[in-house]
């Protein structure tokens, strides 16, 4: 009898700093790959017969039942895209440091980690699909991107890119494919970031704005242009720096965050609770603050002048969160 085998793969969470939504319409974007991860652990044996319930060779799952259908779709998609099969008699468990459905890229991290697991497995090709000679980062990104469509319909490719990489990434939209990406030097940005419950899921928010853009709604198209301009200038500020922005640079970055947030709020992507917490952060000394990602709740971030002031913002937000009774709904971090 063979000893059980075990493989693990991880992927990063993400924080979109600038250009969310706008990247879908030809504008640049800027994001940060977080050091908080989602990990998949695959345990399997290569002996015995395949249970009837597992004829598609997908792993059994160790996670709440409400997530089974989506996770199984991810596994099927990456298996098809990469031309590789999961082993029979396998079992998959998920350990995540990322709160679900909160704008930190948990679904993208799942898709990337699943693709990485398959890259570790030298299994026979799935029916009708020849496996590539090698699974480089670009192939893994493409496979994860296809799987991410399960959650977001028309994803930009940013979330899965940030799940694959760490640090700051600048993105340039590319017609008909994944965006171009460029790694920037890691900056010492005194950020506080967290999340609030969502009023609508990401897929719905993306779809609503997509319809407005198809109708060439003047307010929506103007705001997308603003979001793109803020992203472009933020990339210029952070590109080629020494690793620490000067006070003037931080102030301009904060102003860009405030402008972009006003645009996102104009698009109906903020919520009363998000506004409450961002205002509490500004009152405590944050120079700039904005929501992040698809919106309608979810992630947000605030920029302070230095770490000491960021810690004061963090403390003020914790106090506000406690007063609102949201301890289990809001995650706050200082990188």
Predicted local distance difference test score (pLDDT) of residue 98: 85
CATH number at residue 172: 3.30.230.10
**Do 165 and 197 have their domain in common?**
no
**Do 82 and 202 have their domain in common?**
no
**Position 62 in a domain:** yes
Give residue 67's domain range: 5-183
Predicted local distance difference test score (pLDDT) of residue 230: 98
Select from 143, 159, 183 the last residue of a domain: 183
Pairwise CA distance, residues 2 & 44, whole Å: 10
**How many domains are there within the chain?**
2
**Do 196 and 93 have their domain in common?**
no
Predicted local distance difference test score (pLDDT) of residue 131: 47
Q: What is the chain's pLDDT, residue by residue, as a tens digit (335 residues)?
A: 456 788 999 999 999 999 999 999 999 999 999 888 999 999 887 654 333 333 445 777 666 777 888 889 999 999 999 988 888 778 888 888 888 778 898 999 999 999 999 998 865 445 445 444 456 899 999 999 999 999 888 888 999 999 999 889 999 998 878 999 999 987 788 899 998 888 777 778 888 888 999 999 999 999 999 999 999 999 999 986 655 677 788 999 999 999 999 999 999 999 999 999 999 999 999 999 999 987 778 899 999 999 899 999 999 999 999 898 876 556 566 65
**Position 126 in a domain:** yes
**Do 158 and 257 have their domain in common?**
no
**Do 68 and 122 have their domain in common?**
yes
**Do 147 and 203 have their domain in common?**
no
Pairwise CA distance, residues 81 & 79, whole Å: 6
**Position 42 in a domain:** yes
**Do 153 and 25 have their domain in common?**
yes
Predicted local distance difference test score (pLDDT) of residue 81: 92
**Do 177 and 122 have their domain in common?**
yes
Give the pTM: 0.86
């Amino acid at each position: 009898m063979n000893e059980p085998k075990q493989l693990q793969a991880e992927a990063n969470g993400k924080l979109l700093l600038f250009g969310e939504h706008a990247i879908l319409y030809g504008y640049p974007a800027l994001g940060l790959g977080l050091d908080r991860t989602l990990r998949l652990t695959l345990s399997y044996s290569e002996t015995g017969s395949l249970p009837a319930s597992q004829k598609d060779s997908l792993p059994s799952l160790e996670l709440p039942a409400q997530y089974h259908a989506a996770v199984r779709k991810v596994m099927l998609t990456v298996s098809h895209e990469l031309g590789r099969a999961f082993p029979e008699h396998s079992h998959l468990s998920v350990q995540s440091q990322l709160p679900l459905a909160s704008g930190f890229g948990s679904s993208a991290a799942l898709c990337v980690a699943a693709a990485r697991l398959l890259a570790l497995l030298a299994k026979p090709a799935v029916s009708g699909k020849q496996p590539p000679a090698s699974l480089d980062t670009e192939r893994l990104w493409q496979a994860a991107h296809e799987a991410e469509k399960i959650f977001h319909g028309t994803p930009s490719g940013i979330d899965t890119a940030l799940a694959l990489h760490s640090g700051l990434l600048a993105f340039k939209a590319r017609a008909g494919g994944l965006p171009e990406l460029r790694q920037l030097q890691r900056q010492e940005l005194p950020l506080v970031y967290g999340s609030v419950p969502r009023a609508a899921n990401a897929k719905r928010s993306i779809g609503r704005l997509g319809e407005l853009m198809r109708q060439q709604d003047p307010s929506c198209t103007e705001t997308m242009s603003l979001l793109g301009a803020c992203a472009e200038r933020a990339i210029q500020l952070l590109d080629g720096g020494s690793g620490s922005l000067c006070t003037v640079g931080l102030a301009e970055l904060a102003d860009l965050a405030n402008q972009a947030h006003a645009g996102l709020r104009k698009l109906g992507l903020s919520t009363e609770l998000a506004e409450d917490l961002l205002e509490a952060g500004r009152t405590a000394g944050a120079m700039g603050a904005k929501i992040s990602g698809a919106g309608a709740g979810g992630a947000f971030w605030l920029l302070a002048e230095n770490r000491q002031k960021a810690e004061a913002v963090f403390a003020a937000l914790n106090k506000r969160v406690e007063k609102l009774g949201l301890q289990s709904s809001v995650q706050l971090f200082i990188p």
